[in-house]
Structure 1
């Protein structure tokens, strides 16, 4: 016999009154959220950017960063390698806390060190757009930034006494500064806790910190490319091939490729006009190492119609020629020089001139964030050196393809811009600019860096970890 259910019935969750009440609440919440997030003022207050990279600044003396700018501007004559340019300021007041970076193109192209540090020196209330958060407690830091203007230090020495640059002598003030930085940093608690692996050095000039590279090899290096950084470890090499790389000081696993500072002004897509020339190049014909390819390309192309090959330097006249040449040509040639890349690539991007990259070993900034194939043409060296091949290849691109390249280029132009438009660089940065992309790239390295630190700690005393890097 079935038992009779005498319990009080429970209202169904899908009953009409309950369902109506639920729908009313959902609609009310939806309308509230709509007005909340559609109000720009409310968005600004509620959507503050998240900081993902915590940066501690090593306490180096001012003489190793902004003080070097004071030295530069107080010199009556600076660089004999560059003709005088009336548009470049060579003397400014020396009492500025944050002097401007030199307009001298030999130095300006390496100014990343200045803009990255300026972001960290900007007061917190103005740094809401920065991906990095400055911390003053070492224990909270993800990385330790070393505020040494290594490029400016090297260029000061090259401009005043180039003959002693590679020598460890008293006359080499750059070497003295390198040793001062290393002596200070390596004796710090921060270095000892990680072996320097979480330290960040900005080394945009290929010869920056030349004498201490082996000592800073474990650190995170911000470099424009890897040209000149690889070296042969003869003790560990059993190979008879002289150019076989067995030992490296740089690696895509830990280091960050950053852009040169462009020297030419940005051309907006709306300002672009019809381009009459096919291909443009301006620079030195004779280079070393990978730059030998440049000489061969020059001889192949210099007499071709629709192609301009100019030898020159970025002084006042050279800048005007480059602006005109890049803005009136469909393509801009980018062959390797002494190193695989140069600021010429970023000048081309700002000029909406499609880069033609002939450099088999090039490493490019922000790859993974930027797809260069969407606005650049990559050509193998062997193909480029075939007679008549390159000209025919470039002529095969349709107007539609070239226009698409330029549209894509216009979209990424801000990514390669360091200058934030504020005096001394002190002020909010462009959230889509070069500095933030550098911080994001450093952040990507953290898991590998932390793993390396842990591996270092568990090694028995006297056992070293090789610096070899097996990566492409």
Structure 2
């Protein structure tokens, strides 16, 4: 019997079935292996390439801020008042007097510019922080702070008082009454701010512990500090909080208690630098070893400056200049800092000054001779990577400081400058928009300030809970003297 023949159609159908089955099994195998490695990669790879994926894994990507309701006269209205001044005899005012000539011919803007007067500009943090919060949501996507309009939703309450501008205007207009209350417009504004915020439900729910005040000038809100001691204070250092009046009689003093400020609850913020940034690519050979420009005579902790001056003023390779980077001295300061290897930063009336941040922007290695200094954003950066820290006792030994600075090699100094270039933007407030209303640099000072405040939230919440569980009539003592 002849064997049965297989039709071509049947054979082809059989082969297709086998091929299809093989292909399907192969595909499933490949898919399973791919899913395994993808799952393994997601679990063990810490470097997520997609920034949005990394962000989504964070518990919170912003701090929710409610802006306390204060009249415009306590912030931007103060700027209106400043620009309407017919004159200002304070140092550096010639810059702003030029601005007034054109500014007063126009209608005042809703968000006026901040003074260029260096005595005031160095404390402009209050202006840029509020500008960020006033920026429309659609323009503020790079900000770590997210404004909310119900205080119940907020992590913190920002108090929009230009405390420094208020103090400086009083000092410029009638310094004689600054420490008094009668006839002191600054005191009247301080009083208005505190009275208004203490009446709000937001203050009552926390006792003010979640309220944020900007007090960059050492004398800002001088008369009411005790009443806001529980709040989060944004300060340039703690120097102005230990003021002792040497003229006080009967052994008494007007010392402001140390328990009102602490690294536990407060945030050290940078001064606004007055000199422009020098990019690392623009750096040139530096002829001078050490440079300093400033006032020789200071008070309290600043007495070390006068002693250093006498030790260094005639030393070869060291330049000690009396003055301030106002309109006439700015170019001199730029040249001095950009042509010097090191820039001296001794304590003044307070432990720090804007000089440190001018040095960073000029890529001049800071030499910090200030034993009690507090610095902005520590924990986010290591200042020893681009600064030289010297104990006062060592610096005051004859010839010690110059010998020490000469011991640094060219390689070490270049490394300091490269590290400095990496942090220059962190100390930048300005965003380049009129009135400060617009997107801020994501890596700038304002965002770093809010990130520091964000880190305080667990402590703030704990303090509020502790206060609530106290029986009526029992108060929690101020214990913020720990640093």
TM-score higher than 0.5? yes
Residues 95-134 of structure 1 aligned to structure 2 (within 5 Å) = 95-134=108-147
Match of 1:209 among 221, 228, 233: 221
1:299 pairs with 299, 305, 310, which one? 310
The DSSP-based 3-state class of the residue aligned with 1:190 is helix
Select between 223-232 and 292-301 the one with higher mean Cα deviation: 223-232
Matched with 1:389 is 400
Deviation digits for residues 374-419 of structure 1 (CA, Å, limit 9, x no counterpart)? 0000000000000000000000000000000000000000000000
Q: Is the 8 A contact 1:254 1:445 kept in 2?
A: yes
1:174-323 to structure 2, matched below 5 A, reads: 174-230=186-242, 247-323=258-334
**Larger CA Rg, structure 1 vs 2:** 2
Cα distance in 2, alignment partners of residues 29 and 79 from structure 1: 69
| 250 and 94 in structure 1: CA distance in 2 versus 1, 3 angstrom threshold | farther
- Give structure 1 stretches of 5+ with no counterpart: 1-14, 31-36, 233-239
1:441 equivalent to 2:456? Answer no
Q: How many residues align structurally?
A: 441
Distance in 1 of aligned mates of 2:69 and 2:255: 40
Please give the secondary structure, in 2, of the residue aligned with 1:285: coil
Would the aligned equivalents of 2:431 and 2:441 in 1 still touch at CA under 8 Å?
yes
Distance 1:244 1:215, change over 3 A: closer
Tell me the SS of whatever aligns to 1:322: helix
Q: 1:301-321, CA deviations, whole angstroms, 9 ceiling, x for partnerless residues?
A: 000001000001222121111
Q: Does 1:368 align with 2:379?
A: yes
Tell me which of 427, 434, 459 is aligned to 1:423. Answer: 434
Query: Which residue of 2 is the match for residue 172 of structure 1?
Result: 184
1:327-406 aligned at under 5 Å gives the runs 327-406=338-417
For 2:187 and 2:86, locate their aligned partners in 1 and report how far apart those are by CA, in whole Å.
23
Cα 1:45–1:424 change in 2 (3 A) is: farther
Which residue number in structure 2 is paired with residue 156 of structure 1?
169
Deviation above 6 Å: which 4+ runs of structure 1?
Answer: 26-30, 42-50, 242-246
Which structure 2 segments of 5+ residues have no match? 1-24, 41-47, 245-250
CA-CA distance at 1:454 after TM superposition? 0.6
State the shift of 1:356 in Å. 0.1
What's the secondary structure of 1:262's corresponding residue? coil
Partner of 1:326: 337
Tell which deviates more after alignment, 171-180 or 91-100: 91-100
What is the deviation of 1:211? Answer: 0.3
Distance 1:277 1:88, change over 3 A: farther
Counterpart secondary structure, 2:196: helix
**Alignment counterpart, residue 460 of structure 1, candidates 435, 457, 471:** 471
Mapped partners of 1:321, 1:81: distance in 2: 16
- 3-state SS of paired residue (2:94): coil
Is 2:197–2:203's contact at 8 Å kept on the other side of the alignment? Answer: yes
1:56 is displaced (CA, Å) by: 0.2
2:155 aligned with 1:142: yes
Once the two structures are TM-superposed, the CA of residue 44 in structure 1 deviates from its matched residue by: 8.0
Go from structure 1 to structure 2 and tell me whether the alpha carbon gap of 1:357 and 1:94 turns closer, same or farther (over 3 Å shift).
farther
Write out per-residue CA displacement over residues 18-60 of structure 1, whole angstroms, 9 at most, x where no aligned residue. 5334135678999xxxxxx98xxx9789979963210000000
My pick for the range that moved more, 152-161 or 92-101, is 92-101
Alpha-carbon distance in 1 for matches of 2:30, 2:52: 35
Say if 1:444 and 1:325 are closer, same or farther in 2 by CA, change over 3 A: same
TM-score (norm: length of structure 2): 0.86
Q: Is 1:84–2:94 an aligned residue pair?
A: yes
Give 1:247 shift: 4.6
CA 1:373/1:88 → structure 2, altered by over 3 Å: closer, same or farther?
Answer: farther
| 1:102-135, Cα deviation, whole Å (9 max, x unpaired) | 0010100000000000000000001110111100
CA RMSD of aligned residues (A): 2.6
2:67 is the counterpart of 1:57? yes
**Which is further off, 57-66 or 76-85?**
76-85
Determine if contact 1:230/1:248 at 8 Å carries over to the other structure.
no
Deviations along 1:223-254, whole A, 9 cap, x unmatched? Answer: 0000021379xxxxxxx9x9999752100000
Which range moved further: 81-90 or 267-276? 81-90
Distance 1:247 1:308, change over 3 A: closer
